[in-house]
């Protein structure tokens, strides 16, 4: 089988422009690991790569270097037409994900993503959140602005702190925390500048941030992993940064989190296919669904290290045969974080697109051993306070 994998940020989506700091390390690491997982199945794999990004270590049969947007489009069309299946890894920012899925559908026999019809129905986070409310999914109080000019609607907003983010975004792009009304207006402008689209103003729910990674086949969804998200909230500036995560996250409230996540998936299930990420926050024992990402997420780095089976194989079977795994077999724990080479030990796997900052991944059978290695990097986070000694049981919609 021939598989084409295109990752937008490292694969040429910013050819001719400055490479963005957001999403580059995460995107490159997902590209590298997906290529490796497909290759281990015996597939012939191909990909595109921005000329400024290093190709060393990529386990691909064909790597096409690109330097312009026109070159990206033509090369992707060519590789997709020669492949049996194509997978797109891209953010919603600028409409990249739906545009690239449409291209893949046009030129490739099969696509390992949510179909383009999903994005017609749900163009961004705003429309998805509206659907979740209809399905009685627990979501924070949210106000949707069409643009900064419609900020007059903010006069009635009374929940602070408030989270502000663009409807078409990924990671923490354009996301900030507003502590008061004056910061709120600036946050709206910041979100619009980062990604001109509808703007979401949400009540900030204080608690533990996490995510679910699901696999869907268009009629059912299976939870593959429950993950911790590590975010850095800077109170002074309101800036929010994504630092990494831990898989699996074992909680006494895991059943409630999974139940609410599956309720969200069930609301959208007729259009969901492939890997799906669901972000949540756990506050006082109750999970609140923040957003549904119709694509694979950085938590794939932890999933593939802790699963006993190849997640790329699961993806192919779900999308091509409609088959979801009956059993999720896991072993150990994995942490994945943004880091720079000088801080790392040999125990870490490291994925760096330019030789500077990248994503570091570490697996251990023991959580204590894993945390001991992480602490050597002075990466301060109290994982232990979030862990309980009980197994996570995946469920299906």
Band of pLDDT at residue 194, cut at 50, 70 and 90: confident
DSSP run (H or E) holding 19: none
Q: Hey, is 126 helix, strand or coil?
A: helix
Answer yes or no: are the C-beta atoms of 26 and 298 closer than 8 Å. Answer: yes
% of the chain residues with pLDDT over 70: 93
Stretch among 50-59, 62-71, 150-159 having the lowest mean pLDDT: 150-159
pLDDT of residue 385: 54
What's the CA gap between 5 and 359, in Å, rounded? 19
Is the pLDDT at 235 greater than 90? The verdict is no
Q: Hey, is 241 helix, strand or coil?
A: strand
Instruction: Tell me what the mean pLDDT of segment 62-85 comes to.
Output: 97
Give me the residue label for tokens 């831990």.
246
Q: Hey, is 37 helix, strand or coil?
A: helix
**Positive or negative: CA dihedral 65, 77, 293, 315:** negative
- CA dihedral 93→278→138→181, nearest 10 degrees, is -40
Which DSSP category does 364 fall into? E
Closest by Cα among 308, 295, 377 to 336: 377
Answer yes or no: are the C-beta atoms of 4 and 108 closer than 8 Å. Answer: yes
Express each pLDDT in 248-260 by its tens digit: 999 999 999 999 9
Is the pLDDT at 388 greater than 60? The verdict is no
Write down the pTM of the prediction: 0.93
Closest by Cα among 95, 122, 377 to 230: 377
Q: Which two tokens stand for residue 291?
A: 């957003």
Higher pLDDT, 388 or 248: 248
pLDDT of residue 227: 97
Angstrom CA distances, 7 to 23, 305, 327, 385, stand at 10, 20, 29, 35
Express each pLDDT in 26-47 by its tens digit: 999 999 999 999 999 999 999 9
The terminus-to-terminus CA distance of the chain in angstroms comes to: 30
Q: What share of the chain is helix, strand, coil (3-state, %, to 5)?
A: 35, 30, 40
Answer yes or no: are the C-beta atoms of 35 and 60 closer than 8 Å. Answer: yes
DSSP run (H or E) holding 326: none
pLDDT of residue 59: 95
Max CA pair span of the chain: 58
Q: Which residue ranges form the domains of the chain, and what is each CATH number?
A: 2-113 (3.40.50.11770), 141-203 (3.30.1490.20), 208-386 (3.30.470.20)
Q: Hey, is 114 helix, strand or coil?
A: coil
């Amino acid at each position: 089988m021939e598989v084409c994998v295109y990752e937008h940020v490292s694969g040429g989506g910013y050819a001719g422009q400055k490479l963005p700091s957001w999403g580059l390390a995460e995107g490159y690491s997902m590209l590298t690991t997906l290529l490796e997982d497909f290759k281990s199945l015996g597939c012939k794999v191909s990909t595109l790569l921005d000329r400024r990004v290093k190709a060393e270590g990529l386990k691909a049969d064909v790597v096409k270097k690109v330097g312009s947007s026109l070159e990206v489009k033509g090369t992707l069309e060519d590789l997709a037409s020669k492949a049996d299946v194509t997978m797109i890894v891209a953010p919603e920012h600028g409409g990249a994900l739906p545009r690239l899925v449409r291209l893949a559908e046009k030129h490739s026999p099969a696509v390992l993503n949510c179909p383009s019809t999903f994005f017609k129905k749900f163009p961004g986070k705003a429309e998805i959140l509206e659907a979740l409310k209809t399905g009685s999914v627990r979501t924070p109080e949210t106000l949707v602005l069409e643009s900064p000019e419609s900020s007059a609607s903010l006069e009635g907003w009374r929940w602070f702190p408030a989270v502000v983010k663009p409807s078409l975004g990924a990671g923490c792009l354009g996301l900030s925390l507003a502590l008061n009304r004056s910061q709120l207006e600036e946050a709206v402008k910041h979100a619009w500048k980062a990604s001109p689209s509808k703007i979401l103003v949400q009540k900030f729910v204080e608690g533990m941030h996490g995510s679910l990674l699901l696999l869907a086949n268009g009629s059912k969804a299976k939870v593959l992993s429950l993950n911790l998200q590590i975010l850095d909230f800077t109170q002074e500036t309101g800036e929010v940064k994504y630092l990494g995560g831990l898989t699996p996250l074992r909680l006494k409230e895991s059943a409630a989190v999974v139940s609410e996540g599956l309720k969200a998936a069930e609301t959208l299930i007729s259009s969901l296919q492939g890997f799906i990420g669901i972000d949540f926050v756990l506050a006082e024992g109750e999970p609140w669904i923040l957003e549904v990402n119709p694509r694979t997420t950085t938590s794939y780095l932890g999933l593939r290290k802790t699963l006993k089976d190849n997640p790329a194989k699961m993806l192919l079977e779900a999308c091509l045969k409609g088959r979801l795994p009956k059993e999720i077999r896991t072993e150990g724990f994995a942490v994945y974080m943004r880091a720079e080479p000088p801080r790392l030990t040999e125990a870490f796997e490291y994925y760096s697109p330019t030789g500077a900052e990248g994503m570091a991944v570490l697996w251990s059978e023991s959580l204590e051993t894993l945390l001991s290695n992480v602490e050597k990097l002075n990466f301060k986070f109290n994982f232990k306070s979030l862990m309980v000694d009980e197994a996570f049981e995946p469920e299906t919609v």
